[in-house]
Structure 1
Amino acid sequence: MDLEVRHLRVVCAIAESGSLTRAAASLRMTQPGVSAQLRRIERMLGGALFERRRAGIAPTALGELVLTRSRAILPSIDGLLADTARAAGSQSAPNRIRLGSVGAPLLGHLILAVRELLPEAEVTTRCQYSPLPLLDDLAADRLEAAILGDNPGRELQPRDGVILQPLVMEPVFALLPATHPLAADEEVSLTRLLKEEWAVPRPEGDRTREYWSSIFALTGEHPHTPYEAEGRQLIEVVRAGLAVSLCQATFIEVPGVVVRPLAGNPLWYRHVLAWHPDGPLAARGDEILRRVRDGYLATSAASPVYARWRQHHPHLARRPT
């Protein structure tokens, strides 16, 4: 078997996600399928590309070499594919709309807006934890629009051919076990929270962890972060009473966890809608933006804690984006 471009994508996906399970999700493959693919690639290249560590998997020296070459090659290949598809007149066909999203409560509203405005379109979606792969997909014409997110002072960098339109800025809230003493408070002091053990998402290119750390440093406290998890796994660690964490203001409480505002609103998160200026959604961009913003307001009202915060902070609830 010869080495192919798809093999390089598998290796990069494993390195970027830090685990075979997450890589499988991003590649839309099964975990056993990714494992088998990796074994075949390693046999072709003559050695192990990754090694298992407590925090996940990490590249070996051979893996670093392969990753360096792959990351140099793949953007050129993606650009070639996008250019030839555009030249052939098949790129961004009006009846096919590909959407992406980070972990935000706005994807459903974006899908509904596109379906209502373009009822004949076939809508597909792809989700990522970090906004950067989605931004890459937008720039390479692999997506027509996406919901992204960033933080103050660490905003997403503009890309050629991609419009970045802020949707709303919202506060970041505390995520606590329901049995935690701080759960009885209406709002939580960040300084007090930093004395607990934390569950945090793994470092990503979106600079979220970097932003959190910069705000934490202002308090003089440095949290102990023994648990690294994302999504459902992070919630389960908090639910078990093992740690505290942070979440979006629109997070809906589930049994075993509670959401509380942070006193003084020290951390913020910005939702961003991105699309192509010459794509099939360009003429509808303003209308889609309005509909997604309206959907966000409905989502905010459905979160009792956030709805109450917005009532108590009307000037901040209208904070410009």
Structure 2
Amino acid sequence: MDLEVRHLRVVCAIAESGSLTRAAASLRMTQPGVSAQLRRIERILGGTLFERRQAGVAPTALGELVLCRARAILPGVDGLLADTARAAHRQAAIARIRLGSVGAPLLGHLILAVRQVLPEVEVTTRCQYSALPLLDDLTDDRLEAAVLGDNPGCELPPRDGVVQQPLVTEPVFALLPAGHPLAARDEVDLARLREEEWAVPRADNDRTREYWSSILALTGRHPHAPYEAEGRQLIEIVRAGLAVSLCQATFIEVPGVAVRPLAGNPLWYRHILAWHRESPLAVHGPEILRRVGDGYEAIRAASPAYAVWRERNPEKAMLTERARPGQG
């Protein structure tokens, strides 16, 4: 019988617990099973590894030698197993690409870009309101790429192994009921907008609401915000004429709501494309970024309010030019 890695784990568990009974519990074995395993290991190594005492067990001189070598070997074996597991997962992931997105208009273009560069793969998606859970998923190999977003002063934290490539920064606009008096204006003053009742996203760790509040505070006071909602629910509250809110400049107007620029451009939003450095998509990052960027320009062109804003704010519009691969 040859010595195996599992035998070294048994020896270490006995030494660390100081008891065959406690070692059995940590190894999910029975105490007689651990005793029998220890006797087999001692026969292989040619001597007694532990002295049995009333309070438990203690390593012999031979046991100390074995423990010293085992503790040097096992971390390398565990590292090898972890690395090969990740490599096998990534190899399998080539057949399936998992994408994520916040509530931005770029996910469809990301899917199309992935299908262009890897036409044989299956693409799956997962959406979140907040960017941070998606960033966690990228870090932990649960996603290969994602559309993220953040705001000035509330930037996403860097993560080991994850590339965060800014795509474009755009202004934040007002979202109004279509019949609201402010919807008749070319742009809306934020101080005037704060006098209305608001629908706002829940306060969570993506800091969008914190960012909105910090800018609104500069107007002198916070608005009354009785409605907490996101996505379709927030739009329906606005459409019903119950509240106003804010939206991305690329938000496409739907019946019942109006999108208008904010005077002075006080708020901004940054679109980010992110992927794991060891993802099958990493080598295609620049090409995917280019294709998603082309998609963004098509979306921007379809937004009348954004087009008018760009014509009236040529200097600010320069800030909204999309980033190229390699730009931060």
User: TM-score range, shorter-chain basis?
Assistant: 0.7 to 0.9
Counterpart amino acid of 1:186? D
Alignment of 1:105-124 (within 5 A): 105-124=105-124
Task: Name the counterpart of 2:293.
Answer: 293
Task: Name the counterpart of 1:196.
Answer: 196
Counterpart amino acid of 1:213? S
Deviations 1:190-248 (A, max 9, x none): 00000110000111211011111110111112100001111111111111111100001
| Residues in 1 aligned to 2:314 and 2:97: alpha-carbon distance in whole angstroms | 36
TM-score of the aligned structures, taking structure 2 as reference length: 0.71
Are 1:213 and 2:210 counterparts?
A: no
Task: Name the counterpart of 2:171.
Answer: 171
SS at match of 2:115: helix
| Residues in 1 aligned to 2:280 and 2:311: alpha-carbon distance in whole angstroms | 38
Task: Name the counterpart of 2:302.
Answer: 302
SS at match of 2:93: coil
- Structure-2 change in CA distance of 1:87 and 1:165 (3 Å): closer
What's the C-alpha RMSD, in Å, of the aligned pairs?
1.6
| Residues in 2 aligned to 1:121 and 1:87: alpha-carbon distance in whole angstroms | 18
Deviations 1:15-65 (A, max 9, x none): xxxxxxxxxxxxxxxxxxxxxxxxxxxxxxxxxxxxxxxxxxxxxxxxxxx
| Residues in 2 aligned to 1:141 and 1:278: alpha-carbon distance in whole angstroms | 9
| Residues in 1 aligned to 2:275 and 2:247: alpha-carbon distance in whole angstroms | 26
Q: Over alpha carbons, which structure has the higher Rg?
A: 2
SS at match of 1:116: helix
| Residues in 1 aligned to 2:103 and 2:200: alpha-carbon distance in whole angstroms | 15
Counterpart amino acid of 1:221? R
Contact 2:259-2:305 within 8 A present in 1 as well = yes
Contact 1:189-1:262 within 8 A present in 2 as well = yes
Counterpart amino acid of 1:207? R
Deviations 1:254-309 (A, max 9, x none): 11110000000000000000001121011110111111111101000011111121
| Residues in 2 aligned to 1:245 and 1:91: alpha-carbon distance in whole angstroms | 45
Task: Name the counterpart of 1:22.
Answer: none
Q: 1:90 Cα shift? A: 5.0
Q: 1:312 Cα shift? A: 2.0
Task: Name the counterpart of 1:44.
Answer: none
Q: 1:96 Cα shift? A: 1.1
Task: Name the counterpart of 1:233.
Answer: 233
Alignment of 1:1-321 (within 5 A): 85-86=85-86, 88-89=88-89, 93-319=93-319
Deviations 1:96-133 (A, max 9, x none): 11100000000011111110111111111110000111
Contact 1:150-1:156 within 8 A present in 2 as well = yes
Q: Number of paired residues?
A: 241
- Structure-2 change in CA distance of 1:139 and 1:280 (3 Å): same
- Structure-2 change in CA distance of 1:82 and 1:226 (3 Å): farther
Counterpart amino acid of 1:241? G
Unaligned runs of 5+ in 2: 1-80, 324-328
Q: 1:91 Cα shift? A: 5.5
Deviations 1:57-83 (A, max 9, x none): xxxxxxxxxxxxxxxxxxxxxxxx986
Q: 1:84 Cα shift? A: 6.8
Contact 1:102-1:131 within 8 A present in 2 as well = yes
Q: 1:315 Cα shift? A: 2.6
- Structure-2 change in CA distance of 1:89 and 1:218 (3 Å): closer
- Structure-2 change in CA distance of 1:306 and 1:282 (3 Å): same
- Structure-2 change in CA distance of 1:92 and 1:309 (3 Å): farther
Unaligned runs of 5+ in 1: 1-80
Counterpart amino acid of 1:165? Q
Contact 2:90-2:279 within 8 A present in 1 as well = no
TM-score of the aligned structures, taking structure 1 as reference length: 0.72
| Residues in 2 aligned to 1:160 and 1:281: alpha-carbon distance in whole angstroms | 17
Counterpart amino acid of 2:224? H
Contact 1:91-1:141 within 8 A present in 2 as well = no
Task: Name the counterpart of 2:55.
Answer: none
| Residues in 2 aligned to 1:193 and 1:82: alpha-carbon distance in whole angstroms | 54
| Residues in 1 aligned to 2:190 and 2:261: alpha-carbon distance in whole angstroms | 10
SS at match of 1:318: helix
